[in-house]
Structure formats: structure tokens, C-alpha cells
Structure 1
């Protein structure tokens, strides 16, 4: 597992007024505030959360 692919994601839009499930996805990815960047492992679960709130994120490989 030394060669694990990671994704860099940044929250670029506010979570205020969003659906609770969308806020939960952001928290699940480790995003707490705007312009925060985190690295997550490229798994189907993380991809699903990223796809669900893609309109809030900027994603890099």
C-alpha cells in the first residue's frame, strides 16, 4: 500500500445553507472551512462524496 493514489480537494464555496447530507460529505472528507485543502485517498467511497458535492470543490489529482 506504499503506492496509494491521493486526491487534493479544496472547498471553494460555503457550506452555509446547503443540504445536511452535503455538509456531512464535506465533513467526511475532512473539510471544515472555505479554502481549506486536504489530501484524501482515492477510494470509491471518497469519489462518491466528491461527486456528490463537486459543485463546492476544486479537485486535483
Structure 2
């Protein structure tokens, strides 16, 4: 599997609770913080759900 770097670029404030929980489950807490994850189907689905809040780069 390839790895991806996920960066939170927009706040989760005033978003539905499910999107807030998805951002937290990805390991993101503050703006402009990044995490590196293996690109699995479950991670890809989570990224799709909050794609408007995050920036994704392949590593």
C-alpha cells in the first residue's frame, strides 16, 4: 500500500458531528497539522467524507 499525508486545511467547526468525528478519527486536531497513513479502503472513504476540509498528498 502507498502512504498519504493528510493535512487539515479548514476547520471542523459548524460541520455535522459525523464530519467532526471523522476528522478526529484520522488523527487531525488543529489546522495545518498533518498525519501520514497507509492508503487503505477505509482511510480513502474517510478522506472522501471530509475532502472539503483536508489536503491529501501521496508520499
Please say which structure displays the higher CA radius of gyration: 1
Q: Any stretches of 5+ residues in structure 2 without a counterpart? A: none
Provide TM-score, normalisation by structure 1: 0.90
DSSP 3-state at the match of 2:19: helix
Which portions of structure 1, spanning 4 or more consecutive aligned residues, are displaced by more than 2 angstroms? Answer: none
Structure 2 CA distance for aligned equivalents of residues 41 and 30 of structure 1: 13
CA RMSD of aligned residues (A): 0.7
Number of residue-to-residue matches in the alignment: 58
Structure 2 CA distance for aligned equivalents of residues 13 and 36 of structure 1: 11
Deviations 1:23-57 (A, max 9, x none): 11101110011100110111000000000000001
Q: Any stretches of 5+ residues in structure 1 without a counterpart? A: none
